[in-house]
Chain A
Amino acid sequence: MSYKTIFEPFKIKSVEPIYVTTEEQRKEYLKNAFNNPFLLESDQVMIDLLTDSGTSAMSANQWAGMMRGDESYAGARSWKNMHKVIKDLTGYHHILPTHQGRAAERILYTLLGGKGKTFISNTHFDTTRANIEYTGAEAIDIPVPESLHAKLIHPFKGNMDVEKLEEIIKEKGPENIGCVILTVTNNSGGGQPVSMQNAKDINFICKKYDVKFFLDCCRIAENSYFIKHREKEYENKTYKEIAQEMFSLADGAIMSLKKDGLVNMGGFLGIEDEKLSEKCSSLLIITEGFTTYGGLSGRDMEAIAIGLVEIFDADYLLYRIKSTAYLGEHLDKMGIPLMLPIGGHAVYIDSKELYPHIPVDQYPGQALVCELFLKGGIRAVEIGSVMFGKYTDKHKLIPASMELVRLAIPRRVYTQSHLEYVIEVFEKILENKNNVKGMEITFETLFLRHFTAHFKQL
């Protein structure tokens, strides 16, 4: 279609009301949530951009699938349907269903991890890092250097630094590498895509040293869109073919289906190696569920089988990527400092640059997240030192490399006018930027503190 309008290739079948609130009310809500939007009640939020995970609107076809869900404990039809679609997409021999992505991660990393092991990734996501560190292993991030410059335009800022990869494998010894994890798209690094060439290079190095290579592929359809449009030799391939090729380069994959599976719950672990898969099955049964349901209801498996096909539709992907870019380009034009180019599922704001007067140990990202809620009832998430910061022995903050705030866009949920409202709220954010103050943590937990921490405004 040659029109400028971003055409939504669907119409609305069912709606959910949004409650309009005043700034006064929101002030109160935020106070009760200890300045952590994770602790807000969802009906206090007007536009929820906390995550694109599990928040998609399902299609009428998926809802019909929900009604056909086969809830048999063992050997359900719905598992057969889900298995068939995943097998066709990934080609892996062994597919294990899990209740969500982090369960697949925990199973795999428990078996591959442990003290003395190293995991290498373009960037580990929060739950990934937590799962790995929980086993006593270490997690090293090696994104390409371009990814650390927010403004630099590069088509594949999600790539892994392959030279560093080889260095680390040599330094640690191949036998001490738990595995190499390529996250597509690279979420913590700004939702930036990974090129097929990069995946091929990683495959080559991992083969050379006999190191396991896994994909964390929860947004692989969005990544395929970027490959088709930015990597010359793929322009005539379908999105699904591109995804299939990438799966073929790895030894297995972990997927949270709550993203590009277009469902509200679900995940899987795909593995080539039979022995590893048997060990994973044992752990799966203990903590998740039997191998033909993995802790999912039959109806959820049915919805997954349908969602994983819908996601590769060319019209859908065009709409998806363009509508994210629409929000990003407008904010960029207004002078909001962003991570560029705009990624697939979210717009990332550089809060350090927006609030240069707030030092990193006063969490400028958390300050922006609170400000967005106060001014417009928008819920976003900090991806900076609250999420990834660590402490020295003397309890001094070791900050994350960037102080980002993510506006994640749920799939098929918000319309263009909702996005225009968000843009309007950012005008207010700009007007008020010099009055915004930093934050202090008053309560935190050892792992994944961002979910439950409490904050005080300074």
Chain B
Amino acid sequence: MTKTFIKHSWAEPYKIKMVELLHMTTKEERVPAIKEAGYNTFLLKSKDVYIDLLTDSGTSAMSDEQWAGMMVGDEAYAGSENFYHLEDAIKKYYGYKYIIPTHQGRGAENIISRIMIKPGDVIPGNMYFTTTRLHQELAGGTFADVIIDEAHDPDNLFPFKGNVNLEKLETLINITGADKIPYLSIATAVNMAGGQPISMENLKQLRKLSDKYGIKIIHDMTRVAENAYFIQQKENGYSGKSIAEIVFEICSYTDGATMSAKKDALVNIGGFLAMNDEKIYEEARNLVVVYEGLHTYGGLAGRDMEAMAIGIAESVNDDHIRARIGQVEYLGHKLNDSGIPVVMPIGGHGVFLNAKKFLPHITRSNYPAQTLAAEIYIDSGVRSMERGIVSAGRDKVSGKENAPELELVRLTIPRRVYTQAHMDVIAESIESVFANRENIKGLKMLYEPKYLRFFQARFEKL
């Protein structure tokens, strides 16, 4: 265990303009609250939660500029001015030619999957994500994981654990046939691997390979700016480049993107589908009307498109990203230094606890990560999320539980919301659960929904 020295301050490049009061609870209140929620942190009421690390999605604090933008929301049904601002921001910072706003990221995933995937297709990607894979499957496709093996090892210190294994990918293309692969689904800052980045070099190689076989690359870009920060810090030749330049370069190696703007782009709601191909754009424009809304609002209020346009610009600011990831690393290193098993290196949007090592006495079938998330809540009111066997769901053919290598609890840090003192409280609480780990018992699943079971499954204590 080595002490980590943090080189430069990550002090926030903002001050607080408005606050939301937190509700403090006692252990006597939390024990029945989590029981009532079926030991699923998703089902807790937010009033019973003290520090909410369930997700970094849609939970950011907006800037005063964004709030001002909310007031100039143009709510005209068609041709809203805010749409054009959004379009300009996406072209300027990401470089995609055509855009379609959607109410959130999964709206964009739904549309692109329906347009591009035919039954029997295979979609290779750098690790699955829950909603992305589900949309691919509902369109008749199958997801194939081509991430490098290092990604599945929580202790491996490789700096770009989001990379694609190019040999594995090429073999897959040769076996499946390029015509059965509608696109490569490439995420920046791979969520399920612990927020791990993909390198620019790997992206360049991917572009070459996909050009060779005539396959498109669709970029899941929800945390592209955080990925860019790791490239700036760790990849040769990028230390002198700005986050904005790196983000633009990343996008340039892809043909289109789905974006949940609820993460990097600092808004509470919104997303988009972007692409360079005019034909796909036309099909998407027709489909978006059925699912989301007219193509100049896509199911978003004008004000939310405005906040997104401003948020995109703020998200590629170097100081913002340094403070953002600095805070996540602060918590991660603090836990690591206390001997708590966390996924290393620390990712961009959260700290991932290795539940297999944290609770080695609880078997996989008794859901160690789900158990750990519930225990942390009981200890301090901190809400985290299971990312392991419960999230992975069942195999669509055999019906057996998918058991991914990683059994993690995600402590996701909302952007610009919590302070260093909050990070200290979180660390203290996890240390106290760790000290008491031998007395913790596993869970049994009582209710299991068919799709995306982690959202609504219910458990009881053994």
Distance to closest chain A CB from B66 (angstroms): 12
Q: Contacts A100-B293, A282-B449, A286-B106; is A42 near B80 (CB within 8 Å)?
A: yes
When chains A and B are docked, how far (Å) is the Cα of A67 from the Cα of B78? Answer: 26
Q: Which residue in B106, B131, B286, B301 is a CB contact (below 8 Å) of A446?
A: B286
When chains A and B are docked, how far (Å) is the Cα of A448 from the Cα of B286? Answer: 8
Which B residues are CB-close (under 8 A) to A45?
76, 79
The answer, yes or no, to whether A40 is at the interface (CB within 8 Å) is yes
When chains A and B are docked, how far (Å) is the Cα of A107 from the Cα of B84? Answer: 30
The answer, yes or no, to whether B71 is at the interface (CB within 8 Å) is yes
Number of inter-chain CB pairs below 8 Å? 168
Q: Is A300 touching B301 in the complex (CB atoms < 8 A)?
A: yes
When chains A and B are docked, how far (Å) is the Cα of A447 from the Cα of B134? Answer: 26
Interface centre among B59, B80, B135, B290 (most CB of A within 10 A): B290
Q: Is A40 touching B78 in the complex (CB atoms < 8 A)?
A: yes
When chains A and B are docked, how far (Å) is the Cα of A445 from the Cα of B294? Answer: 13
Q: Which residue in A99, A295, A451 is a CB contact (below 8 Å) of B294?
A: A451
When chains A and B are docked, how far (Å) is the Cα of A134 from the Cα of B46? Answer: 38
Considering only residues 296-348 of chain B, those with a C-beta below 8 Å from chain A are 299-304
Which A residues are CB-close (under 8 A) to B107?
287, 295
Considering only residues 68-127 of chain A, those with a C-beta below 8 Å from chain B are 69-77, 80, 99-100, 102-103, 106, 127
Which A residues are CB-close (under 8 A) to B77?
38, 48, 50-51, 53-55
Q: Which residue in A134, A291, A297 is a CB contact (below 8 Å) of B268?
A: A297
The answer, yes or no, to whether B104 is at the interface (CB within 8 Å) is yes
Q: Is A41 touching B81 in the complex (CB atoms < 8 A)?
A: yes
Find the B residue at minimum CB distance from A44.
Answer: B79
The answer, yes or no, to whether A265 is at the interface (CB within 8 Å) is yes
Distance to closest chain B CB from A177 (angstroms): 23
Considering only residues 168-195 of chain B, those with a C-beta below 8 Å from chain A are none
The answer, yes or no, to whether B289 is at the interface (CB within 8 Å) is yes
Distance to closest chain A CB from B260 (angstroms): 11
**Size bin of chain A's contact surface:** 35 or more
Distance to closest chain A CB from B102 (angstroms): 9
Q: Is B52 touching A72 in the complex (CB atoms < 8 A)?
A: yes
Query: Which of B37-45, B204-212, B360-368, B373-381 interfaces with chain A?
Result: B37-45
The answer, yes or no, to whether B73 is at the interface (CB within 8 Å) is yes
Which A residues are CB-close (under 8 A) to B300?
265
The answer, yes or no, to whether B18 is at the interface (CB within 8 Å) is yes
The answer, yes or no, to whether A37 is at the interface (CB within 8 Å) is yes
Q: Contacts A42-B78, A43-B81, A297-B58; is A285 near B455 (CB within 8 Å)?
A: yes
When chains A and B are docked, how far (Å) is the Cα of A289 from the Cα of B104? Answer: 8
Which A residues are CB-close (under 8 A) to B81?
41-43
Considering only residues 217-255 of chain B, those with a C-beta below 8 Å from chain A are none
Which B residues are CB-close (under 8 A) to A50?
76-78
Which B residues are CB-close (under 8 A) to A291?
455-456
Q: Contacts A45-B76, A103-B299, A446-B286; is A71 near B54 (CB within 8 Å)?
A: no
Which B residues are CB-close (under 8 A) to A51?
77
Q: Is A40 touching B290 in the complex (CB atoms < 8 A)?
A: no
Considering only residues 161-199 of chain A, those with a C-beta below 8 Å from chain B are none
Which A residues are CB-close (under 8 A) to B302?
264
Find the A residue at minimum CB distance from B131.
Answer: A286
Q: Contacts A55-B75, A72-B52, A297-B268; is A287 near B301 (CB within 8 Å)?
A: no
The answer, yes or no, to whether B430 is at the interface (CB within 8 Å) is no
When chains A and B are docked, how far (Å) is the Cα of A16 from the Cα of B73? Answer: 10
When chains A and B are docked, how far (Å) is the Cα of A286 from the Cα of B90? Answer: 26
When chains A and B are docked, how far (Å) is the Cα of A291 from the Cα of B43? Answer: 10
Q: Is B49 touching A67 in the complex (CB atoms < 8 A)?
A: no
The answer, yes or no, to whether A312 is at the interface (CB within 8 Å) is no
The answer, yes or no, to whether B57 is at the interface (CB within 8 Å) is yes
When chains A and B are docked, how far (Å) is the Cα of A338 from the Cα of B450? Answer: 52
Q: Would you give the 0/1 interface string for A32-72, flagging 1 where the beta carbon is closer than 8 Å to chain B?
A: 01000111111111001011011100000000001101111
Considering only residues 53-90 of chain B, those with a C-beta below 8 Å from chain A are 54-55, 57-59, 70-81, 84
When chains A and B are docked, how far (Å) is the Cα of A74 from the Cα of B53? Answer: 11
Q: Which residue in A41, A67, A73 is a CB contact (below 8 Å) of B18?
A: A67
Q: Contacts A286-B106, A286-B452, A295-B103; is A73 near B293 (CB within 8 Å)?
A: no
Find the A residue at minimum CB distance from B59.
Answer: A71
Which A residues are CB-close (under 8 A) to B290?
102, 106, 127, 130-131, 134, 447-448
Q: Is A448 touching B289 in the complex (CB atoms < 8 A)?
A: yes
Q: Is A297 touching B304 in the complex (CB atoms < 8 A)?
A: yes
Distance to closest chain A CB from B168 (angstroms): 29
When chains A and B are docked, how far (Å) is the Cα of A200 from the Cα of B178? Answer: 59
Q: Which residue in A131, A287, A446 is a CB contact (below 8 Å) of B110?
A: A287
The answer, yes or no, to whether A352 is at the interface (CB within 8 Å) is no
Tally of contact residues, B, Cβ under 8 A: 61
Q: Is B455 touching A40 in the complex (CB atoms < 8 A)?
A: no
The answer, yes or no, to whether A417 is at the interface (CB within 8 Å) is no
When chains A and B are docked, how far (Å) is the Cα of A285 from the Cα of B452? Answer: 8
Interface centre among A33, A75, A100 (most CB of B within 10 A): A75
Find the A residue at minimum CB distance from B303.
Answer: A264
Interface centre among B45, B77, B106 (most CB of A within 10 A): B77
Find the B residue at minimum CB distance from A80.
Answer: B45
Q: Contacts A67-B18, A287-B110, A290-B455; is A75 near B291 (CB within 8 Å)?
A: no
Q: Which residue in A39, A74, A289, A297 is a CB contact (below 8 Å) of B44?
A: A74
Which B residues are CB-close (under 8 A) to A44?
79
Considering only residues 266-301 of chain A, those with a C-beta below 8 Å from chain B are 281-282, 285-291, 295-300
The answer, yes or no, to whether B451 is at the interface (CB within 8 Å) is yes
Which A residues are CB-close (under 8 A) to B46?
70, 72, 74-77
Q: Is A43 touching B74 in the complex (CB atoms < 8 A)?
A: yes
Q: Which residue in A14, A76, A127, A287 is a CB contact (below 8 Å) of B106?
A: A287
Interface centre among A14, A42, A282, A445 (most CB of B within 10 A): A42
The answer, yes or no, to whether A248 is at the interface (CB within 8 Å) is no
Which A residues are CB-close (under 8 A) to B456?
281, 285, 291
Which B residues are CB-close (under 8 A) to A299?
268
Q: Is A452 touching B58 in the complex (CB atoms < 8 A)?
A: no
When chains A and B are docked, how far (Å) is the Cα of A44 from the Cα of B76? Answer: 11
Q: Is A296 touching B269 in the complex (CB atoms < 8 A)?
A: yes
Distance to closest chain A CB from B268 (angstroms): 4
When chains A and B are docked, how far (Å) is the Cα of A38 from the Cα of B289? Answer: 13
Q: Contacts A286-B452, A290-B455; is A38 near B294 (CB within 8 Å)?
A: yes
Distance to closest chain B CB from A137 (angstroms): 14
When chains A and B are docked, how far (Å) is the Cα of A63 from the Cα of B232? Answer: 41
- Residues on A facing B (Cβ under 8 Å): 14, 16, 33, 37-45, 48, 50-51, 53-55, 66-67, 69-77, 80, 99-100, 102-103, 106, 127, 130-131, 134, 264-265, 281-282, 285-291, 295-300, 445-448, 451-452
- Residues on B facing A (Cβ under 8 Å): 18, 41-49, 52, 54-55, 57-59, 70-81, 84, 103-104, 106-107, 110, 131, 134-135, 138, 268-269, 285-286, 289-295, 299-304, 449-452, 455-456
Query: 27 A–B contact pairs at CB < 8 A?
Result: A33-B79, A38-B77, A42-B78, A42-B81, A54-B77, A71-B268, A74-B43, A74-B44, A77-B45, A77-B46, A77-B47, A99-B104, A100-B293, A102-B291, A264-B73, A281-B456, A282-B449, A286-B452, A287-B110, A289-B106, A297-B269, A300-B269, A300-B301, A446-B286, A447-B286, A447-B290, A452-B295
The 8 A-B residue pairs whose C-beta atoms are closest, nearest first, are A42-B76, A72-B46, A297-B269, A99-B103, A297-B268, A75-B45, A264-B301, A265-B301
| 5 extra A-B contacts, CB within 8 A, seeds A75-B43, A76-B46, A452-B289 | A42-B81, A72-B49, A75-B46, A297-B58, A297-B304
